[in-house]
Amino acid sequence: MFDEMWGAIERLGRDGRTGGYLRDAWSSADLELREWFRQEAARRGLDVREDRNGNLWAWWGDPSGRPGVVTGSHLDSVRQGGAFDGPLGIVSAFAALDVLAARGFEPGRPLGIACFTDEEGARFGVPCMGSRLLTGVLDPDRARGLTDDEGDSMAEVLRRAGRDPAVLGRDPETLGHVGVFVELHVEQGRELVHTGDPVGVASAIWPHGRWRFDFHGQANHAGTTRLADRDDPTLPFARTVLHARELAERAGVVATFGKLRVSPGNANAVPGLVSAWLDARGGDEGAVRALVAELTAFSGAEVSTESWTPVVDFDAVLRDRLAAVAGAALARPAAAPALPTGAGHDAGILAAAGVPSAMVFVRNPTGISHSPEEHAEESDCRLGVTALAAVLEDLCRS
Ligand code: GLV
Ligand code: MN
Ligand code: MN
Ligand code: MN
């Protein structure tokens, strides 16, 4: 079943040239993946709902009486992303429910699978869009007005996908169905390789954010404009990249300019505008904020904040319970190790909104993620399902 599910989605949104995935929110690949989710839920007899923010929920039992135990993740990807970031959590969720059903398990409380919309923010710039809207930390007016690289607003894109953008926003009723949330995810580092464990749990998510830097200059002819007469925005941009690296090294945080737009984009013209997106993260929120403030002043660019996510410390009691159950399910000598992560997740947004939340990580041999080389061994993925099934069974008893 696990292989079958994996086989069914493997080709969706895959770039045959690079092997990377292009699964922007509301793209045709994303719509096909959402349809696949509905079918997997339907053939298990689960009740599928889409909430007002486009998040999908598949329920075994009715959560309107008593909040349920929910697992899941997301199906969208970064551009040229890997196969595992997101989908592993969804495929493992269905597989874990299959394990429980095969055992004749009857959940003592509703058990659900969530598929959050636009976790990566690849299209509109704001990550965890579905969970931010659900929990009310993102203003729906701002969301509707965000534009993609084609200049299409999120409102237009939603309308084209047959959704009503007017209904976006905080959804306490849907959120109230989630008594506890557990997201299984491929590890995006090599900590589990070092500890020698196939599965771990999350202790915390670093504070992180995205900022847009617009460097304005004067577009002009590349051949006839003397160097002294140029107002070339690539120069302050280049200095800013180097300075970001120095500041990050000094502060012990990370800073990345991973997306860049040079306008108008002629090889034979000095550009008029460089837009560059900074992603900065670290264990110390003050240090991240100080870096961004110093870089803003240094750059001379017009800077706007696209998203900010404060530190998330996962509930320690829940984390330790999960670690113990996962360790025992895999017949390990000790509890699964707990690790902090620099990656953002919907589980973090839910935790910040007061939903008891936790994460299970599956070992990634190279630690590479957000790249086609992202990987997890099949044997480890199966252990992840075993651990997740045990965790869900345990949580359903409380
Ligand atoms: C999303 O995966 C992020 O951490 O940026
Ligand atoms: Mn990701
Ligand atoms: Mn993810
Ligand atoms: Mn993420």
Question: Do 209-309 and 2-206+311-396 have the same topology in CATH?
Answer: no
> Which residues does 162 contact at the CB level (< 8 Å), separation at least 6?
none
How far, in Å, is the centroid of ligand 2 from the Cα of 343? 7
What is the per-residue DSSP string for 170-220?
--HHHHTTEEEEEEEEE-SSSHHHHHT-SEEEEEEE--EEEEEEEEE---E
Cβ–Cβ contacts within 10 Å for residue 354, how many? 9
In angstroms, what CA-CA distances link 1 with 61, 70, 127? 22, 21, 31
Q: Hunting for tokens 């135990």 — which residue is that?
A: 69
How is the chain split into domains, by residue range? 2-206+311-396, 209-309
Confidence of residue 125 (pLDDT cuts 50, 70, 90): very high
The candidate with the shortest Cα–Cα distance to 184, out of 353, 397, 396, 392, is 392
Are 159 and 307 in contact by the 8 Å Cβ rule? The answer is no
What pLDDT, on a 0 to 100 scale, did the predictor assign at position 153?
Answer: 98
Q: In what order do the strands lie in the sheet with 208-216?
A: 254-263, 273-281, 208-216, 302-309
The whole-number average pLDDT for the span 276-281 is 98
How far does residue 200's CA lie from ligand 1's centre (Å)? 18
Tokens (6 digits) for 234: 């690539």
Statement: residue 1 has pLDDT above 80 = no
Report whether 83 contacts 374 (CB < 8 A).
Answer: yes
* CA angle, residues 119, 43, 50, in degrees to nearest 5: 35
354: pLDDT strictly greater than 90: yes
The alpha carbon of 62 and the centre of ligand 1 are apart by a number of angstroms equal to 32
Q: Ligand 1, closest atom to CA 369?
A: 2
Of 104-108, 291-295, 388-392, the least confident: 104-108
- Find out whether 248 and 287 touch, Cβ atoms under 8 Å: no
User: Rounded CA gap, 117 and 34, in Å?
Assistant: 9
| Ligand 4 center–CA 186 separation, angstroms | 10
For a ligand 1 pocket test, name from 120, 279, 312, 346 the mutation site with the most ligand atoms within 8 angstroms of its C-beta. 120
Which residues keep their CB under 5 angstroms from ion ligand 3?
Answer: 85-86
> Once rounded to an integer, what is the mean pLDDT over residues 31-53?
98
For the whole prediction, is pTM greater than 0.90? yes
List phi, psi (to 5°) of 234. -70, -20
Q: Is 231 marked as binding a ligand?
A: no
Residues near ligand 1 with C-beta < 6 Å?
Answer: 120, 127, 343-344
Taking a 5 Å cut-off on Cβ, the residues next to ion ligand 4 are 343-344
How high is the pLDDT of residue 80?
98
Distances (CA, A) of 73 to 56, 94, 256: 10, 11, 25
47 is in an annotated binding site: no
The half-sphere exposure of 172 on its side-chain side, counting CA atoms within 13 A, is 0
In the chain, % of residues over pLDDT 90: 99
Amino acid, res. 361: F
pLDDT number for residue 2: 81
pLDDT score at 145: 98
313 is in an annotated binding site: no
Q: Which atom of ligand 1 is nearest to the CA of 128?
A: 1
Neighbouring-strand partners of residue 273:
216, 263
What's phi and psi for 310, nearest 5 deg?
-65, 170
pLDDT at position 177? 98
This model of the complex carries an ipTM of 0.91
Q: How far is the CA of 227 from the centre of ligand 1 (A)?
A: 40
User: Is residue 213 over pLDDT 90?
Assistant: yes
CATH superfamily for domain 2-206+311-396: Zn peptidases (3.40.630.10)
Averaged pLDDT score across all residues of the chain? 97
Chain center to CA of 108: 30
Ligand 1 mutation pick, 281, 345, 361, 374, max ligand atoms within 8 A of CB: 345
Q: Assign domain 209-309 to its CATH architecture.
A: 2-Layer Sandwich (3.30)
- Give me the amino acid identity at 196: G
Could you read off the pLDDT of 64-118 as tens digits, one per residue?
A: 999 999 999 999 999 999 999 999 999 999 999 999 999 999 999 999 999 999 9
DSSP string for residues in 114-135: EEES-SS-TTTS-SSHHHHHHH
